[in-house]
Amino acid sequence: MICAVVLAAGRSQRMGTQKLLLPVGGQPLIARIVDQVLASSVAGVVVVTGADRERITAALAGRSVMFAVNHDLQGEMLTSVRCGLAALPPPCTAALIVLGDQPGVTAEVLERLLQAFPAAGRGIVVPTVQGRRGHPLLVALHYRDEILTQYDAVGLRGLLQAHPEDVFEVEVDTPGILADLDTPQDFQRLGGSA
């Protein structure tokens, strides 16, 4: 059973406002992302919140998701990954780790990763565009303890470097797997204004 962990705990310091609440396609960015995840075949969704927890939770009202709270507001993204992995229900055997600020990631891309996972026979599935790796990552939960205790300095990149033989790349034609929203300029390129 594959579950999703959506990372939505960031402080959005470079954006100057909570980027996950910015309007993209007529709805808050985090709602757009979670809707894409829910449109895929994942068995459950955990959204990791932190900064602006109440507002992000409110933006996701009515959606069938669970919430986990990352209390380490100064921590790197890995602290949110760990929080989400720890909150997954026991039947989950793999986690699709989705960034909350990648508006270009679609349910179709997610489904490609989900379908590739059992067929590949590998523990880590990563999308690529023209050979460049992006997000989200799909990780077998036999790596959970390793992620919970290692890679503080490098994040999940360390997991991929430690197990190159267990990484399966899925080429997609969606450049959005390489781009997230960090700055007002990023948002303007998307057609908005922060």
Question: pLDDT by residue (tens digit) across 66-99?
Answer: 999 999 977 789 999 999 999 999 899 999 999 9
**Architecture of the domain delimited by 2-188:** Alpha-Beta Complex (3.90)
Sign of the alpha-carbon dihedral angle for 174, 177, 178, 180: positive
Give the pLDDT confidence score for residue 51 in this predicted structure: 80
* Reported pTM: 0.92
Q: How far apart are CA 20 and CA 10, in angstroms?
A: 9
SS (H, E, C) 80-96: HHHHHHHHCCCCCCEEE
Query: Which residues fall within 8 angstroms of residue 125, CB to CB, at 6 or more apart?
Result: 113, 116, 117, 137, 138, 167, 168, 169, 170
Q: Please check the confidence at residue 157 and state whether its pLDDT lies above 60.
A: yes
Residue 8's φ and ψ, nearest 5 degrees, are -140, 35
Q: pLDDT per residue over 27-77, tens digit each?
A: 999 999 999 999 999 999 999 999 889 999 999 999 999 999 999 977 789
Burial of 84 (0-12, 13-18, 19+ CB in 10 A): buried
Give the pLDDT confidence score for residue 12 in this predicted structure: 60
Q: Where are the domains of the chain?
A: 2-188
Query: Which residues fall within 8 angstroms of residue 121, CB to CB, at 6 or more apart?
Result: none
Query: Which residues fall within 8 angstroms of residue 189, CB to CB, at 6 or more apart?
Result: none
Assess contact for 48 and 68: CB atoms under 8 A. Answer: yes
